[in-house]
Amino acid sequence: MTVLVIGNATVDFSFEVDHLPAPGETLLAHSRLIDAGGKGLNQAVVARRAGATVVYLAAVGTDANAQVIRHRLAAEGLDDQLLVRDGPTDQSIIYLAPGGENMIVSTADRAASLRPADAALALETLGPRDALLMQGNLGRETTRSCLAAGRRRGARIVLNPAPIAFDYGDLWSCVDVAVVNLVECRGLGGKDDPVEAARRLIATGAAAVVVTLGKQGALAVTSEAVRAAPAPIVAAVDATGAGDVFCGVLVAALADGDSLADAVPSAVAAASLSVTRRGTSSAFPSAAELAALRRGARLATAGRIA
C-alpha cells in the first residue's frame, strides 16, 4: 500500500526566545535552527519513518533553500516528485518560547502554484488499497480536485485542513478521516464541544474525525462511537510539527491495516515524544522509536480492552 502525500515544503528558521514577542517588541534569540519543514514534507517524512511506502509531491523554488529540502528527502529515502517553480522556496519563521509555545509565520507562494494538472499523474497511480494524505496549504481548487480524484480511485483519504484558508463544506464527502485540533474543530464544526463539532463535520460528509487535544491526547469520533486516547506526561520544549507527527503516524498505521481506534494511540504517543525536542523534520522520532511506540500503544490498548 502506498501513501501519496500532496502538500507543501518549506525551509524553517526557528528562533529560541525567552517569551513570544508582543506587538512592536524586538527580541534577541538565544539560538537559531534551520531545518526542512512544511506540513506536507513533515507528514511525508513521518509516514516514511513509520514504515509506509510514501510518494511525496510538492513545489519548491529555484533558490538554494530548495537544496535543503532535497537533501532532507534524500536522507529519508522518500520517493519525491518535486516541481520547480520560479521564485523563492516557501519559508517559515518560528519563534519558540520556554514550555513549547510557538508562533509561526509562513509564505505559501510555491504551494499556491501547485495546480490540479500537476498532481494528475501521481493520483492516477492510486488504488483502493492506497491512501491520499493532504493538508490545507494548497489552493481550494487544487485541494478539491485531488480529493475528488482520490475518491474516484477508491483510495482512503486523510485530510488535515490546516491552515484553514477556505471553506471545506462540500469537500467533507471526499474525506475518510479528518484530523483537526481543538480550535480548528470548533471553527469548522460551529460548536464549542469538540464531539458535537466533530459530529457536525460527520453529518456534512466526513466518515470520521480525529480531534487532537495537545497534552490531553486525542478523540476519535465516528457516527457510532467516541474513543479517547490520553497522552503521556512529558516535558514539552517545542510543539512545532507535533500535529504533523500525529498525522504521519496515523496514516502509516491505517495503511498498515490498523483500525482508527488502534491508530490514534500510536499517533498520540509519537506526537508527545516529538514535543520534547527542538526542530522540525530532523527532530522527529526515528523509525526505531516509532516502531517501539506503536508496539507500546498496541499493548496498552490490548490491556484496556482486557
- Integer CA distances (angstroms), 101 to 40, 43, 104, 283, in order: 21, 20, 10, 16
pLDDT at residue 62 is higher than 60:
yes
Q: What average pLDDT score do residues 59-69 get?
A: 96
Q: Is 270 in contact with 47 (CB distance < 8 Å)?
A: no
Q: Is 6 in contact with 134 (CB distance < 8 Å)?
A: yes
User: Which band of pLDDT confidence, cut at 50, 70 and 90, is reported for residue 303?
Assistant: low
For 101-111, write each residue's pLDDT tens digit. 889 999 999 99
For 32-52, write each residue's pLDDT tens digit. 999 999 999 999 999 999 999
pLDDT at residue 305 is higher than 70:
no
Q: Is 155 in contact with 178 (CB distance < 8 Å)?
A: no
The average confidence (pLDDT) of the chain is 94
pLDDT value, residue 301: 65
CA–CA separation, 54 vs 79, rounded Å? Answer: 7
pLDDT at residue 202 is higher than 60:
yes
Cis peptide before 285 (omega within 30 of 0): no
**Close Cβ partners of 301 (under 8 Å, ≥ 6 residues apart):** 261, 262, 265
CA–CA separation, 164 vs 188, rounded Å? Answer: 9
User: Which band of pLDDT confidence, cut at 50, 70 and 90, is reported for residue 306?
Assistant: very low
Q: Which residues of 144-153 are buried (b: 16+ CB within 10 A; e: fewer)?
A: bbbbbbbbeb
pTM of this prediction? 0.94
pLDDT value, residue 299: 73
User: Which band of pLDDT confidence, cut at 50, 70 and 90, is reported for residue 275?
Assistant: very high
Q: What average pLDDT score do residues 18-23 get?
A: 94
DSSP 1-65: -EEEEE---EEEEEEE-SSPPPTT-----SEEEEEEE-HHHHHHHHHHHTT-EEEEEEEE-SSTH
| Helix (H) and strand (E) counts in the chain | 10, 13
- Integer CA distances (angstroms), 183 to 188, 190, 256, 269, 301, in order: 9, 10, 29, 21, 27
For 159-201, write each residue's pLDDT tens digit. 999 999 999 999 999 999 999 999 999 999 999 999 999 999 9
Q: What average pLDDT score do residues 70-79 get?
A: 94
For 123-165, write each residue's pLDDT tens digit. 999 999 999 999 999 999 999 999 999 999 999 999 999 999 9
Q: Is 76 in contact with 48 (CB distance < 8 Å)?
A: yes
The enclosing H or E element of 80 equals: strand 79-84
pLDDT value, residue 272: 96
Q: What average pLDDT score do residues 200-204 get?
A: 97
Q: Determine how many CB atoms are found less than 10 A away from the CB of residue 14.
A: 24
